[in-house]
Amino acid sequence: MRWKVGILTASDKGARGEREDTSAQVIREMVEEELGGEIVEHRVVPDEKNEIMAALIEMSDYYNAHLILTSGGIGMAARDVTPEATREVVERLVPGIPEAIRHAAMPRNPHAMLSRSIAGVRGVCLIINLPGDPRGVHESLAAILNVLPHALSILSDNTAPFNEYF
């Protein structure tokens, strides 16, 4: 199956056209080359909770994305509101995904423990918060890419294959 993927970048400077969205390009390349996904929508919005929420809902409900990867807005600064916006639109959290990302990143960068990223499910769409910098995006996606086809299959089929651990 070719997964439909949305990319949402939360960046005040990016939304004003003052910064190139290089992280989205990393996401695009990894999704297309390693996941076999199709980018159905890419958007850059300012670090505003309501705008992030609206974009997530539109990508999930209108574009029927199976997966939405956000970039940026997961730090501790006052304007970093991507996790709060994501939490508002998802129905169920998937805490193991951001835990795996932080675990993979911490040996190289102990500051990874400060990431507030979350992952969750809205309908049949998996939404995952990634860092804003290209290197962090690449490392984060590399840490979870191998489990995404399984997760997306479970959501799209609405049936869980046999798994001896769960």
Is 166 domain-assigned?
A: no
Q: Is the dihedral of CA 59, 61, 66, 68 positive or negative?
A: positive
User: Tens of pLDDT along 35-61?
Assistant: 999 999 999 999 999 999 999 999 999
Task: Residue count of the chain, please give it.
Answer: 166
Q: Which domain holds residue 144?
A: 4-157
User: Tens of pLDDT along 89-119?
Assistant: 999 999 999 999 999 999 999 999 999 999 9
Let me know: does 117 contact 87? Beta carbons within 8 Å. no
Q: What is the CATH number of the domain that holds 97?
A: 3.40.980.10
Please state the pTM of the whole predicted model: 0.94
Q: Is the dihedral of CA 143, 99, 133, 39 positive or negative?
A: positive
Q: How confident is the model at residue 161 (pLDDT cuts 50, 70, 90)?
A: low
Q: Which two tokens stand for residue 42?
A: 């890419």
Give the SS3 label for residue 107. coil
Is 14 domain-assigned?
A: yes
Residue 164 has pLDDT above 50, yes or no: no
Q: How confident is the model at residue 84 (pLDDT cuts 50, 70, 90)?
A: very high
Is 162 domain-assigned?
A: no
Is 164 domain-assigned?
A: no
User: Which of 15-24, 53-62, 138-147, 154-163 is predicted least confidently?
Assistant: 154-163
Q: How many domains does the chain have?
A: 1
